[in-house]
Chain A
Amino acid sequence: MNAAYLYSLIAVVLLGLLAYAGVAVAGLEGLFGIFIPYVALIVFVAGFANRIIGWGKTPVPFRIPTTSGQQKSLPWVKHDKFDSPYNTIGVIGRMALEILLFRSLFKNSRVGFSDAGGYQKIYYKWVVWLWLFAILFHYAFLVTIVRHLRFFAEPVPFFVEMLAKVDGMMQVGAPGMYLSGVVLLGMAMLLLVRRIVLPKVKYISMAADYFPLLLIIGIAATGILMRHFAKVDVAAVKELTMGLATFRPAIPEGDISALFYVHMFFVSLLVAYIPFSKLMHMGGVFLSPTRNLPNNSRAVRHVNPWNYPVKTHTYEEYEDDFREKMKEAGLPVEKE
């Protein structure tokens, strides 16, 4: 709630100041430019792998897809291949729609009450906003990440160049503004505002929801500031990032703005934070048993690795309990 929001804001601001002061006052470029990024990367890789392996090693005892469409049954009943997939191809289709287009979220609706028609009626209105904010946010993030590959490869791969060109198509300002950066910042803000303004969403939000959003806002904001306002020495930045990428890290001669180190620190924090947070949804979405399993459990047996024998009430025991009554009622029995 308010406290959660405030704590997260204070935390992000303090962390930003820490990096700024660390570089500008204490001259800790090496700490914020080399050491912390490497540590963050190690934490991320180890933590992420650990999580995925942890999930992967845990059995899926039952095949429990949520069926959102007609099952495959009789040949003349039109089967919904993606919402009730029957085989791996269908599942891949369903997962692709889910991961690339956020299909479930697209179905979102809002419930309301109305007394039009002379009685209290509940209505359901399709709402696109959450889906729209979310999908723009994620794609803008993806484009931003791919665009940043130019700092970690020499020569810059052609697709990165191409993407940057498309992304900068608007040709606003010099250097040209990237649409992805602006959309990322804008959508992160809208997602944040949504959390603060909508009473229900506010009620369920925790520090762990505000913190990463604010961190991402910090990342996008410092990025845009560096490009358009602080005009950071890009050549020097690339020297540093190439050093990191080729494992020959060094702090370049000349002066990179402390703002850059704030940016770098935020990114490091975010990356290291992923494995321990809800941001693991990026991995989890692939493994969700209600989505990634075919709805064919009557046709193909699913095996539960920990299935164990249980105590049942056998027919023999049942007949022992009721034999006389069964005989009297003319029901066949095994033992006279």
Chain B
Amino acid sequence: MVDTSKPEALIENIDHTPPKKPWEEVPPDLSAGKFCYPTKKKNLEYLSLPTTTVDEWSPADEEWPLPDNWQQIVHDGFKDLLGKYRSLKIFMDTCVRCGACADKCHFFIGTGDPKNMPVLRAELLRSVYRNDFTRAGKILKKIAGARPLTKEVIKEWFTYFYQCTECRRCSVYCPYGIDTAEVTMMARELLTLLGLNINWILEPAANCFRTGNHLGIQPHAFKEMIEFFCDDIEEITGKKIEPSFNRKGAEILFITPSGDAFADPGTYAMMGYIMLFEQIGLDYTFSTYASEGGNFGLFTSSEMMKRLNAKMYAEAKRLGVKWILGGECGHMWRVIHQYMDTMNGPVDFGEVPVNPITGTRFDNAASTRMVHITEFTADLIRHNKLKMDPSRNDMYTVTYHDSCNPARAMGLFDEPRYVLNAVCNNFCEMPESTIREQTFCCGSGSGLNTEEIMDLRLRGGLPRANAVRYVHEKHGVNMLSCVCAIDRAALPPLMEYWVPEVGVCGVHELVGNALVMEGEIERTTNLRFEPLNEEAEVEADV
């Protein structure tokens, strides 16, 4: 066991040499720290999902609490998915195992575990597919790469499909576009049929179903939290802001991940949004019902995703808004961009989004009626609607982490960069193979941001952290900006471990810092209440 308290030791001990034994004969490591805690039964029950046979169990247990007909359940579920998703069929059938994906996965790079090579991760499922559904597999069995579904296989699935962050990096390099995120989503859907999900996914999902957000913040508390930020804003800028909640007749409904209301540094991004909207006089409202941008259903099943997502359109319609503006979040934007309209549309409210300040029509969101905050802010800046003082971010040399989903499931690359370049003076990019469509995951996406697998998360986040370290050493970067709430929760411990000199922020925190508000007092601190001028000299030599 490597001593993870020493980063250099961890990295030097990574071995990419495959083991001697063939992978089919290597059992998954289910010792403590290697698996996510399974979900509490109450979450399954609350969401009307199939349950395990006992309440309390651990993946380390020899015998897992599966129903007697578990094999039939998985087989039938698999068959059902194959009938519903061309993607699954194609991805099961076409892989030639060329190996191009092998070292593209952050978990493989950080662990050296061959089952973290995307090709093998998919083979875990594919081998069962061949056994159950293909002629060659039924006749030739092992020779054709088929293997029967055993309890060992289920353990392996649980281990490795909760060790994939659905970041889609491998699919960029695959000559057939095989997307491991899709494979993992299908596998998790199958595991969920047996009640095998993890608590860090299903607890937020259950919370979200009931209270409208992952963190289980109730309506009055949500309002209080936002008002608390407004007090901070007032202290910093002298501006008193009173946002509205659940207000009918507002032009725009604003939805952002609840993480932005809950924990630093997301809260600073939240302050940035509020300040921006106040400055331009936006007619918008928060909703306590649709108080979550994120969607942990995405990590559970397409049905759960749809159930949780439904609130957005329902609330937009109830409040009678024209369109929805969405905050900084990664997987939230995958759901909005690629799933929402299909699942819960066609919309029956509002109109094609128009920026009321600039008059820009967002035709790219004509059907979904939802615009990304950096698209919105970039448009404002482009039209000179905002007065900025980027020197207020001079204490930072900033780099930008492309969050997986906005990058590879949306193509949001230049909007946030445009905003960043307008709000800070010192910006530089990480190496090319680690940004944009080649960006590396924080290592904690798709519901894996859970404490018990910290060792895995640090390893999975290593490629990202290492690229940050590179620009830190080379250009003095000390701030890692991003547009994802999971990042804002996952990257701070990652930086703390690998590059402790670098902080993490949302893009709109920097917007909030730089934004010159009408009638504001002279600012002496940034949104973190750090003095504005102290560090200027330290960074002067950069």
Query: Which A residues are within 8 Å of any B CB, using their own CB?
Result: 1, 7, 51, 54-55, 58-64, 66-74, 76-78, 80, 83-84, 98, 102, 104-105, 107-111, 113, 117, 119-122, 124, 130, 134, 198-209, 276-278, 280-281, 284-285, 287-291, 295-304, 306-307, 310-315, 318-319, 321-322, 325-326, 328-332
Contacts and interface: CB of A to CB of B under 8 A. Distances in A.
In order of increasing CB-CB distance, the 5 nearest A-B pairs are A71-B411, A284-B94, A329-B220, A67-B411, A290-B177
Contacts of B117: 200, 204
Interface stretch (B150-158, B276-284, B362-370): B362-370
B97 A209 contact: yes
Interface in B137-167: 143-145
A297 B411 CA distance: 12
A318 to B, nearest CB: 5
Contacts of A306: 84
Interface in B304-349: 306-307, 310-311, 314-315, 318, 336-339, 341-343, 345-346
Contacts of B218: 322, 325
Contacts of A70: 411, 413-414
B247 A332 contact: yes
B346 to A, nearest CB: 6
A61 B433 CA distance: 32
B119 interface: yes
A107 B412 CA distance: 20
Given A71-B364, A326-B288, A278 B96 contact: yes
B173 interface: yes
Contacts of A322: 211, 218-220
Nearest to B224: A329
Contacts of B94: 278, 280-281, 284-285, 288
B18 A130 contact: no
Interface of B is mostly: helix
A80 B411 contact: yes
Nearest to B317: A315
Nearest to A86: B364
Contacts of A303: 342
B135 interface: yes
Interface centre among A98, A208, A306 (most CB of B within 10 A): A208
A128 to B, nearest CB: 12
Interface of A is mostly: loop
Interface stretch (B58-66, B462-470, B488-496): B462-470
A67 B409 contact: yes
A69 B435 CA distance: 11
Given A303-B342, A306-B84, A325-B220, A200 B306 contact: no
B342 A63 contact: yes
Contact of B86 (A205, A208, A287): A287
Contacts of B97: 201, 204-206, 209, 278
Interface stretch (B36-44, B256-264, B375-383, B514-522): B375-383
Contact of B210 (A1, A304, A321): A321
B14 interface: yes
A58 B345 CA distance: 22
Contact of A64 (B100, B370, B409, B411): B409
B22 A1 contact: yes
B96 A281 contact: yes
B379 A74 contact: yes
A318 B11 contact: no
Contacts of B168: 66
Given A74-B378, A200-B102, A62 B143 contact: no
Contacts of A102: 175
A138 to B, nearest CB: 10
Given A68-B172, A107-B173, A201 B102 contact: yes
B342 A304 contact: yes
A139 to B, nearest CB: 15
A284 B176 contact: yes
